Chain A
Amino acid sequence: MRIDETHRVWLVASIVILGAATAVYVIYALAAPHGPSGGSPIGLVFGFTGFGFMIYAGLLGARKKVPIMRLGRAQAWMRGHLWLGLLALPLILFHGGFHFGGLLTSILLWLLIITVVSGVFGAILQHYLPTILLERVPMETIYDEIDRVRDQLRLEAETFVTDLCGGGVPEEEALALVPEGGIRAGGFTAMRPRGGGGVQYGLTEAEVEPVRAFFDTELFPFLQNPGAKASRLGDDIRANAAFTKLRMLVPAAAHPVIANLENLCEEERQLTRQARLHRVLHTWLLVHIPLSLALLLLSVFHAVIALRY
């Protein structure tokens, strides 16, 4: 979610709440005989308010589980999650008087700090990365389908090379990529003329041999393992140089096929970039969500025990 002008109301409300809470805390801390304490009436108000904010922030996950229920707009929930979750940290610090206390309260405070900091990190990522993704990965696809699209790209590359140089893709491999429920033509409408050995391009086998060699030694390995750092096709500039050199080795009639292969390589690189950005964009959730759940659970324990004793 981008933090834009639609967050203004939340931002202003958060600043007002934080300002008021800080003012109350300062007065209370100066007047409290032994400094601020979580068990004092004002300390309890801070504690319960902070805990309430944490619960609200935690309910975002529950809200996502029931998207069809009319419980407010998802964006409103997300904004509340961001701002109230952020406010929970200072309120809980006010609750404890900036002391970590005993073992359980120390764990709780560290969990809260890690959760909030990871949340802020995630919010920053969510603010910037989608734009970067849009700019740097125009050929973006659904993340879960990246592997499948890669298979299709490899098949497509083989088809291009076979069309130009002869040979063919094994029938069973081609069929394996057809989704259940129907035959799909693939992402690119390339009304490719079928034939063999470059005949349709008016090229001899010797003339297209550099393309076959390039495919066998560089392109196919790259498409099979796009993450391999050794491949120069993984780098925009070096890939461009490789294809320019290839063009110089073959007649101009083969250049459209090389252009297609180059485009295919570019898409592969973008998919790699997308996968990397996607991991960055979502890995922090592995810290944020489990720890926030533990935080809520232990907070309930803490509240019960603290009120009792």
Chain B
Amino acid sequence: MGGIGVPRVRTTKGLAQRIDLNYFKRPIPLRRWRFWLCLLIPLASFLWLGWKLAGRDFQPYSSGPLSAGHVLLTRDCTTCHVPEKNAVFTEHASDQACRTCHDGPVHQVAQAREPECGSCHVEHRGGARLIATSNQSCAQCHASLETRPGSSTKYFKSISSFNTDHPEIAVFRAANPRDPVTIRVNHYVHMKKNLLGPHGSVQLECKDCHRQPASRETWRFGSAEALPVSAPAATPAPGMKADLYAPDPGLALMSMPKFAESCSACHLLQFDKRFSEQVPHDKPDVVHTFVVKKFEAYIAAHPAELHEQPEEERRLPNRPAPPAARVVTPAQWVAERTKEAESLLWGKTCRQCHAITITEGVPLPKVADANYTLHWLSHARFDHDAHRGFACASCHPKALTSQDSAELLLPNLATCKDCHAPGPSHVEARCFECHAYHDWSKRKEITPTFVPRALRAQAGEFIPKPAGQ
């Protein structure tokens, strides 16, 4: 027993002596891995770009997917990116390239400057519609509107967006906004419950009178008999402008209500008890001719009526005695009956809705122009079809109570702003929703140049040759 062990002692010298001074020259795995990765990863990325470049595939350099309409041009960058004049290096997408397919007419002749296509229609943002331009695109001019030297503008000079400083709809800016229409329609009466219809009581709906031209639904209160004889159904009734009947072929605007489709079932145009037929809903001279012909035909078939007997049972007390029985000529009879019938028509039946002017010495009255306004928004467009899910009265509440046809039933800007506002719980409120920038009436036709098959092949799609080639 008795050996003494010596404990281990750490000294600096001892620790230093354990180390191989050339240790740093030896490769270690971690450093070796780092070296190879630093070499291979950049090299791989370089080779990838070179490979794409060699295959003329410029897609990796694209700043984003093209819009849906331009997707065929995805692989052919040079369609839009063409060398610019006097440019040494850059090949930006130019307006000239856009105009190869799109002739975007000028906005206003007096506008101070014309922005580049790309400043409003931003590409490489994916499937978004290029037409969906930002408010700022419009505001870059309209926030502080300037015109070319020597020209002026009637428009508001400071509009930034719909929800900030957009002026009220033009028609409401008048001191006493009125509907200039001359047709008398009492909306309140027509929208009442239990209205007397052709076959009992009815509850009218807005669509019984107001519809878009493309609507194919059957009219509840229309009557083919009441069509004007002077023109086919698609043409306007007397005093109406042609475009009111067919403002557009689609569903955007409401066409003017037509008597034959909306009114004729209840508002009968009968003119004499002898006839079940009604006069046509037409110009006074047409109506007059119709009435005269009817009476002439009638008296020819019933000559006995030329011998007129006083109607005792219709004699009123304290009134002069009727003339004694008399015999009239057919022409006289027709003239008298026509006068009676027209007195009824011009004085009551037509006048119920139309503004009739009877002038002394003039045989036929003058029916005022309907003066119906179809385009209330003179600088904007509204699409009823886009709003088809909403009850008419939710935007036109006065239509249920108005008793004066001159009362303006158009919703004002505040009604639009209930839904069209910024924020997630509101719908789009950008300028392009209602306003078009380009004046498409000045559009010029372009010469088509692209071949779809070639574009698709360029885009990498395999296009089989057509049979027989």
Q: What is A's interface to B at a CB cutoff of 8 Å?
A: 31-35, 37-39, 99, 101-105, 139, 141-145, 148-149, 152, 156, 164, 179, 181, 184-193, 198-203, 251, 253-257, 259-260, 263-264, 279, 282-283, 285-286, 289-291, 293-294, 297-298, 301-302, 305-309
Given contacts A32-B136, A145-B20, A253-B1, contact A188 B14 (CB under 8 A): yes
Interface positions of B from 160 to 208, Cβ below 8 Å from A: none
* B33 close to chain A: CB less than 8 A: yes
Given contacts A102-B64, A104-B60, contact A293 B15 (CB under 8 A): no
One of B2, B17, B34 near A290 (C-beta < 8 A): B34
Q: What is B's interface to A at a CB cutoff of 8 Å?
A: 1-11, 14-15, 17-21, 23-24, 26, 28, 30, 33-34, 37-38, 40-42, 44-46, 49, 59-65, 77, 81, 89-93, 119-120, 122, 124-125, 133-134, 136-137, 139-140
State the Cβ distance, A100 to closest chain B Cβ, in Å: 8
State the Cβ distance, B91 to closest chain A Cβ, in Å: 6
**Is there contact, CB below 8 Å, between A33 and B49?**
no
Determine the distance from Cα of A112 to Cα of B368 in the docked complex, in whole angstroms.
Answer: 75
**Is there contact, CB below 8 Å, between B30 and A282?**
yes
Tally of contacts, chain A with chain B, CB under 8 A? 177
**Is there contact, CB below 8 Å, between B3 and A35?**
no
B60: chain A residues at CB < 8 Å are: 102-104
Determine the distance from Cα of A189 to Cα of B61 in the docked complex, in whole angstroms.
Answer: 66
State the Cβ distance, A186 to closest chain B Cβ, in Å: 6
- Starting from the known contacts A102-B61, A289-B34, A309-B91, 12 additional A-B residue pairs (CB-CB under 8 Å) come to A33-B134, A34-B134, A34-B136, A103-B59, A185-B17, A189-B9, A191-B6, A254-B5, A286-B33, A294-B42, A298-B49, A305-B61
One of A99, A102, A185, A190 near B6 (C-beta < 8 A): A190
B133: chain A residues at CB < 8 Å are: 33-34
A260: chain B residues at CB < 8 Å are: 5, 7-8
A145: chain B residues at CB < 8 Å are: 18-20, 23
When A and B form their complex, which 10 residue pairs have the shortest distance between CB atoms, in order from nearest? Answer: A201-B3, A256-B5, A33-B136, A290-B37, A184-B17, A102-B62, A187-B18, A290-B41, A34-B122, A202-B2
B124: chain A residues at CB < 8 Å are: 101-102
**Is there contact, CB below 8 Å, between B37 and A259?**
no
State the Cβ distance, A171 to closest chain B Cβ, in Å: 20
Find the B residue at minimum CB distance from A302: B61
Given contacts A102-B59, A184-B18, A286-B33, contact A257 B64 (CB under 8 A): no
Find the A residue at minimum CB distance from B11: A189
**Is there contact, CB below 8 Å, between A264 and B136?**
no
Q: Could you list some 18 contacts between A and B, CB below 8 A? A: A33-B133, A33-B139, A102-B59, A143-B28, A148-B19, A179-B20, A185-B14, A187-B17, A189-B14, A191-B6, A193-B3, A201-B2, A202-B1, A202-B3, A282-B30, A294-B42, A297-B42, A309-B93
Find the B residue at minimum CB distance from A182: B17
B17: chain A residues at CB < 8 Å are: 184-187
One of B30, B49, B62, B92 near A279 (C-beta < 8 A): B30
A289: chain B residues at CB < 8 Å are: 34, 37-38
State the Cβ distance, B66 to closest chain A Cβ, in Å: 10
One of A148, A253, A309 near B61 (C-beta < 8 A): A309
Find the B residue at minimum CB distance from A291: B41
One of B1, B5, B61, B134 near A259 (C-beta < 8 A): B5
**Is there contact, CB below 8 Å, between A37 and B6?**
no
**Is there contact, CB below 8 Å, between B122 and A37?**
yes
State the Cβ distance, B102 to closest chain A Cβ, in Å: 18
Given contacts A102-B61, A198-B3, A202-B2, contact A307 B8 (CB under 8 A): no
State the Cβ distance, A104 to closest chain B Cβ, in Å: 4
A285: chain B residues at CB < 8 Å are: 34
B38: chain A residues at CB < 8 Å are: 289-290, 293
Determine the distance from Cα of A188 to Cα of B14 in the docked complex, in whole angstroms.
Answer: 6
Find the B residue at minimum CB distance from A148: B20
A187: chain B residues at CB < 8 Å are: 10, 14-15, 17-18
State the Cβ distance, A286 to closest chain B Cβ, in Å: 6
Find the A residue at minimum CB distance from B65: A102
State the Cβ distance, A181 to closest chain B Cβ, in Å: 8
Given contacts A256-B6, A309-B91, contact A286 B62 (CB under 8 A): no
Given contacts A201-B2, A286-B33, contact A298 B45 (CB under 8 A): yes
Determine the distance from Cα of A275 to Cα of B19 in the docked complex, in whole angstroms.
Answer: 16
Determine the distance from Cα of A306 to Cα of B44 in the docked complex, in whole angstroms.
Answer: 21
**Is there contact, CB below 8 Å, between B89 and A307?**
yes
B18: chain A residues at CB < 8 Å are: 141, 145, 148-149, 152, 184, 186-187
Determine the distance from Cα of A204 to Cα of B307 in the docked complex, in whole angstroms.
Answer: 168
A203: chain B residues at CB < 8 Å are: 1, 3
**Is there contact, CB below 8 Å, between A103 and B24?**
no
State the Cβ distance, A43 to closest chain B Cβ, in Å: 11
Determine the distance from Cα of A204 to Cα of B136 in the docked complex, in whole angstroms.
Answer: 99
Determine the distance from Cα of A263 to Cα of B19 in the docked complex, in whole angstroms.
Answer: 20
Find the A residue at minimum CB distance from B44: A294
State the Cβ distance, A114 to closest chain B Cβ, in Å: 11
State the Cβ distance, B67 to closest chain A Cβ, in Å: 13
Find the B residue at minimum CB distance from A105: B63
**Is there contact, CB below 8 Å, between B120 and A33?**
yes
Given contacts A152-B18, A305-B61, contact A188 B5 (CB under 8 A): no
Given contacts A289-B38, A290-B34, A290-B41, contact A188 B9 (CB under 8 A): yes
Determine the distance from Cα of A187 to Cα of B12 in the docked complex, in whole angstroms.
Answer: 8
A253: chain B residues at CB < 8 Å are: 1-5
Determine the distance from Cα of A302 to Cα of B61 in the docked complex, in whole angstroms.
Answer: 7
B90: chain A residues at CB < 8 Å are: 307-309
Which of B17, B23, B33 has most chain A Cβ within 10 Å?
B17
State the Cβ distance, A199 to closest chain B Cβ, in Å: 8
Determine the distance from Cα of A285 to Cα of B139 in the docked complex, in whole angstroms.
Answer: 50
Which of B6, B26, B119, B140 has most chain A Cβ within 10 Å?
B6
**Is there contact, CB below 8 Å, between B7 and A33?**
no
Which of A37, A104, A149 has most chain B Cβ within 10 Å?
A104
**Is there contact, CB below 8 Å, between B10 and A293?**
no
Given contacts A103-B62, A286-B37, contact A255 B5 (CB under 8 A): yes
